[in-house]
Amino acid sequence: MCQENRPLVSRRTVPLCHAGEVYLMAEFIQVVNYQTALEKIKEYFPRAQTEIIDLEKSLNRVLAEKIISPENLPAFNRSTVDGYAVRAEDTFGSSESMPAYLDFAGEIEMGYEPDIEIKPGECCWIPTGGMLPEGGNSAVMVEYTEKLGEDTILIYRPVGPWENVMQRGEDVTEGKMLFSKGKLLRPQDIGLLASLGIAKVRVYKPYKLGILSTGDEIIPVNKRPTIGQVRDINSYSLAAAVQSCGNAPITYPIIKDELDTLKSAVETAIQENDVVIVSGGSSVGVMDVTLDTLLSFNDSEMLFHGIAVKPGKPTMAVRIGSKLVIGLPGHPVSALMMFNIVCRPAMGVNTRLEVDARLPVNIASQAGRDDFIPVELINEDNDNQWTARPLLGKSGLMSILSRANAYIHISYEKQGLKKDEIVKAYVF
């Protein structure tokens, strides 16, 4: 079992053939647990810059500071129905056979402060969203009323105090924290900020992340693969994942497993981006030259090579000068899972929603590693109890991740989870 914060170090030497010569890959492989890997990536991830932008341009941007409500929402007591504003006590005991008789005191106009005061035994017409007049504390839906002449309203149903009324500050109170730092702004979040008159927000400037997909077997998506070839999935899925974090991906042409070609591509990507992600070429093999390529740069340092997790063990990270290069596995499911686990949190995005869910089956796990399992969250009984159905399969099955909407984590000290156990599911 791997001990927390202590890397597993194994010694090996693997010859790689290139242009008639033999290259020796790094003599040590530094395998760490995922917490250590995340700490390393956060340590070397560049410090984010901030900017103030207009609210209408803030979709999918990440807040650089918390937002406190500057006012109450709503700013006044308002009706949630079309009907009549009343004093609740004047309706007590009313029914269809014995309605309450109330004097009609006038109408409330939308957008104006009412100049009417409701006295005992009186009511006034109020539209949905209208400001409740002085003296009123409830609203009766028009369906439960009848107009008798010009001056009398019949009430066929009693209402309680503040029924059908949204009170001042009931939605949001002044001084309440709306969003924490790291919040990724969604359309509904922008609507809330607009309702409070917040026209500008401070957000992080997007990181530029270069994405390199490597492998002799990788071909463009518009080509038909022959035996042994696969289409380039990672460039698209990882670029979309980067965008979902409010950042800017830059994808590059597919790179063959050749040291000179890969080094030239990495050098260009380093110059043009804040961080570089290389998918493929991180496992041990004759054609996998990524690590040697990265360590061939001046002032380069291997931060780790391998994480004690499943999937995604061959994930690695290298510092080249002041730039961070992260190597993700070639398998699409492993690459995307590891992006969510160790890359996304380093970008300052605080959007990992946790859901308590029941596990419908037993799941075995190997002690000494952290397992991250894609799941499909299902609300089968239409209640508050969710079921996390594991989506188990080989790491190359992309349909698994397409069906998944969350993942569960089995920590390294456990040997599995039991059926009907309540687990934390992390929504992505």
The pLDDT value given to residue 249: 97
The pLDDT value given to residue 23: 37
pLDDT digits (tens, 9 = 90+) for 152-209: 999 999 999 999 999 999 999 999 999 999 999 999 999 999 999 999 999 999 999 9
The pLDDT value given to residue 398: 67
Q: Token pair for residue 46?
A: 């560049």
Assess whether the previous peptide bond of 311 is cis (omega < 30° from 0): yes
pLDDT digits (tens, 9 = 90+) for 226-283: 998 888 999 999 999 999 888 999 999 999 888 889 999 999 999 999 999 999 854 4
CA distance between the termini of the chain: 29
- Cβ pair 214, 257 in contact under 8 A: yes
The pLDDT value given to residue 17: 37
HEC letters along the chain: CCCCCCCEEEECCCEEEECCEEEECCCEEEEECHHHHHHHHHHHCCCCCEEEEEHHHCCCCEECCCEECCCCECCCCEECCCEEEECHHHCCCCCCCCCEEEEEEEECCCCCCCCCECCCCEEEEECCCCECCECCCEEEEHHHEEEECCCEEEECCCCCCCCCEECCCCCECCCCEEECCCCECCHHHHHHHHHCCCCEEEEECCCEEEEEEECCCEECCCCCCCCCCEECCHHHHHHHHHHHCCCEEEECCCECCCHHHHHHHHHHHHHHCCEEEEECCCCCCCCCCHHHHHHCCCCEEEEEECECEECCCCCEEEEECCEEEEEECCCHHHHHHHHHHHHHHHHCCCCCEEEEEECCCCEECCCCCEEEEEEEEECCCCCCCEEEEECCCCCCCHHHHHHCCEEEEECCCCCEECCCCEEEEEEC
Q: Which stretches in the chain have pLDDT values below 50?
A: 1-28, 282-287
pTM of the model: 0.79
Length of the chain: 428
The pLDDT value given to residue 73: 94
| Dihedral sign (CA 350, 353, 356, 361) | negative
- Burial pattern 89-98, b for ≥16 Cβ within 10 A else e, equals ebbeebeeee
Domains and CATH numbers, the chain: 8-49+206-347 (3.40.980.10), 53-73+170-203 (3.90.105.10), 78-166 (2.170.190.11), 353-427 (2.40.340.10)
The pLDDT value given to residue 8: 42
The pLDDT value given to residue 16: 38
- Do strands 248-251 and 316-320 pair parallel, antiparallel, or not at all (unpaired)? unpaired
